[in-house]
Amino acid sequence: MKNSNDLPMPYVQRIFMRLHGRFGNAFFDKFRIGQLDLAGMDMGIENAKQAWSEGLAGLAAEQIKHGLTKQFDFPPSLDEFKQACLSAPPAHSFNIALPKPAIPEEKLEKNRKFLRMLANKIRRQDCDAKEIATQILADASEGIARTELEINFALNTLVGDKAMQEVHEYFDQPKGVA
92 belongs to a structural domain: no
Give me the domain span that covers residue 160.
105-170
Residue-by-residue DSSP string for 107-156? HHHHHHHHHHHHHHHHHHTSS-HHHHHHHHHHHHHTT--B-HHHHHHHHH
pLDDT digits (tens, 9 = 90+) for 42-78: 999 999 999 999 999 998 888 999 999 999 999 999 9
Q: How many domains does the chain have?
A: 2
4 belongs to a structural domain: no
Q: What is the pLDDT of residue 75?
A: 96
Nearest-angstrom CA–CA distance, 156 and 166: 11
Nearest-angstrom CA–CA distance, 128 and 38: 78
159 belongs to a structural domain: yes
- Contact partners, residue 51, CB within 8 Å, separation at least 6: 78
Average pLDDT value for the chain: 81
Please count the other Cβ atoms lying within 10 Å of the Cβ belonging to residue 144: 12
